[in-house]
Structure 1
């Protein structure tokens, strides 16, 4: 069963390539300092948000994403980072 069919899929989007990236830093005058291109050599190509019961399941899904075909149709082994979504602070 796919993670979408299992109700684990929440959201996902592909992102524009490096030529469309703007890096923004706070300027000393309070205005944004904007440069073209990513801040690092690695580029975020997209994201998936899944709602799973365990970290192990999230890692299984990430491994499947890593194995997706790349250029030429060959299975890839691209890195996939797994980040938990920070919990909202509780209010008293």
Structure 2
């Protein structure tokens, strides 16, 4: 088994050409609840199969920080809502293969959004660097 990070990217107007992404702030409370239920049910199913490690949604606000020599590091507001791409959350999975990680990311991308339609959310699939495969006994 190998661990992968599924990094959820929220992009505006990023789906197929005939799909216009509708910002979550324009979804009804019921549509938001359906989306969250889908995500929770997905994670619960992976918990049952032993493939779920951890996951979390992220708030849209954040801060960029970098080292710039001694003293207080420079801080910049971000990420910015007007940008095309925001990181909306993440999930860590522990699966048998890269193909399984890709299949699960594709399924997670189908989470419902406005009017119950799949949001076609982009997910970045990244293996953990230098982390050995899990040993199951």
Q: TM-score, normalised by structure 1?
A: 0.81
Displacement over 3 Å in runs of 4+: none
2:113 aligned residue: 70
Q: CA deviation at 1:8?
A: 0.3
Pairing 1:58–2:106 present: no
2:86 aligned residue: 43
Q: CA deviation at 1:30?
A: 4.1
Of 13, 22, 25, 2:63 maps to: 22
* Higher RCO (CA-CA < 8 Å; seq separation 6+): 2
Secondary structure at the aligned position of 2:122 is classed as coil
Superposed CA RMSD: 2.0
1:82 aligned residue: 125
Unaligned runs of 5+ residues in structure 1 are none
Task: Say which structure is richer in strand.
Answer: 2
2:72 aligned residue: 31
Alpha-carbon distance change, 24 to 86 in structure 1, aligned in 2, over 3 angstroms: same
Task: Say which structure is richer in helix.
Answer: 2
Q: TM-score, normalised by structure 2?
A: 0.56
2:35 aligned residue: none
